[in-house]
Amino acid sequence: MENNTIVKTIRIGTRGSKLALWQANAVADKLQAAGLDTEIVIISTKGDQILDRSLVKLGSKGVFTEELEVGLREGTIEVAVHSAKDVQSTIPDELELVAFMEREIVNDVVLSFNPDFKLERDSKVMLGTSSTRRRALLRKYYPNVTTDESRGNLQTRLQKLKEGPFEALVLAYAGVIRMGYDHMIVHTFPDDEFVPAAGQGSVAVECARDLDPELKQLIKDAVDHADTHVCLLAERAFLRTMEGGCSIPSFALAKLTAEGKVRIHGGIVSLDGQQHLSEVYEGSQAEAEALGTRLAETILSRGGDKILKEIRSEREE
């Protein structure tokens, strides 16, 4: 089927924040360049509606995706666009992740209104973050730093920074650059130490498994970035095997080497930062998912299972 014979409008489901809309419009631009008509459909999720509780207390699983996935099942949208790091480790059988956009720089960064702000190993400052992983890594590498919950979209967080008790925010570079706040970056964490969350920096496109195959292929061809896709297959296999989500301080970053192999660095850190397990595996692109699975199994066997058990038992108390 030629692109210009596709007359169906692709309805793109997205959350309503400025960053989510940036992502949805980036996908729309690629689909339109492939000759497809698009329409943006804003859908509010539980994670958007409830801002006075942490992601841990919300349960975190699918809090930013569940309502979008209902739209896919009911056929009110053809695709859903997510931050790849927000997609739960296991998605329903009737849905699939069809494409991952080219990844932005993956690092975590610190934002401050004070251009002279410095974060050093012995800094005694309060930082705002909603991420369990970032809090745990800060406790490991910056033991004198304290943190305070900072949820909401980037603009809301910046307003809290202006008014709130903390002196800076810890965020993903990708969201910061996409929203044009990169001039506020005062510190960049090295990605081999402050390893990002699985999927960080990429945009995921999800659809119903029974969507018209030709249309699905057109969407994939227009949006998917092959190198990013293979890396995220490894990271998501790691996440799935760890049975982790936003509320678990696990981390995983896969990259392609100069020889075209997949190199994945992943692990877990205890909530207090005292226990830190990490490992690096490398293999062919064809075994990307197997690498992620094997890495997670190694981390679990080395004591990661005990860290997870302690985290879950603390939260049940």
SS3 content of the chain, % helix, strand, coil (to 5): 40, 20, 35
CB 90 within 8 A of CB 238: no
> Among 30, 108, 246, 294, which one carries the catalytic annotation?
246
> Among 85, 216, 240, 294, which one carries the catalytic annotation?
85
Could you give the strand order of the β-sheet that contains 37-42, starting from the edge strand earlier in sequence?
37-42, 9-14, 79-83, 203-208, 95-100
> Among 15, 135, 151, 178, which one carries the catalytic annotation?
151
Task: Decide: helix, strand or coil at residue 262.
Answer: strand
Task: Decide: helix, strand or coil at residue 13.
Answer: strand
> Among 15, 30, 86, 139, which one carries the catalytic annotation?
86
Known catalytic membership, residue 240: no
Known catalytic membership, residue 312: no
Known catalytic membership, residue 85: yes
Q: How far is it, in rounded angstroms, from Cα 116 to Cα 210?
A: 54
Known catalytic membership, residue 103: no
> Among 30, 134, 135, 294, which one carries the catalytic annotation?
134
Neighbours of 57 (CB within 10 A): 11
Per DSSP, the residues of 121-174 read TT---EEE---HHHHHHHHHH-TT-EEE---S-HHHHHHHHHHSS-SEEEEEHH
> Among 15, 30, 103, 133, which one carries the catalytic annotation?
133
The pair of three-digit structure tokens given for residue 80, joined into one six-digit string: 């859903």
Known catalytic membership, residue 294: no
> Among 135, 139, 157, 178, which one carries the catalytic annotation?
157
Buried b (16+ CB within 10 A) or exposed e, 12-21: bbbbebebbb
The pair of three-digit structure tokens given for residue 316, joined into one six-digit string: 């049940």
Using CA atoms, how far residue 234 sits from 83, 124, 179, 195, 228, in Å, is 17, 37, 28, 15, 10
Any long-range contacts for 141-146 (C-beta under 8 Å, 24+ apart)?
Answer: 141/193, 141/194, 141/273, 143/273, 145/119
Counting every residue written for the chain, the total comes to 317
Known catalytic membership, residue 210: no
Known catalytic membership, residue 73: no
CB 94 within 8 A of CB 210: yes
List the catalytic residues: 85-86, 133-134, 151, 157, 246
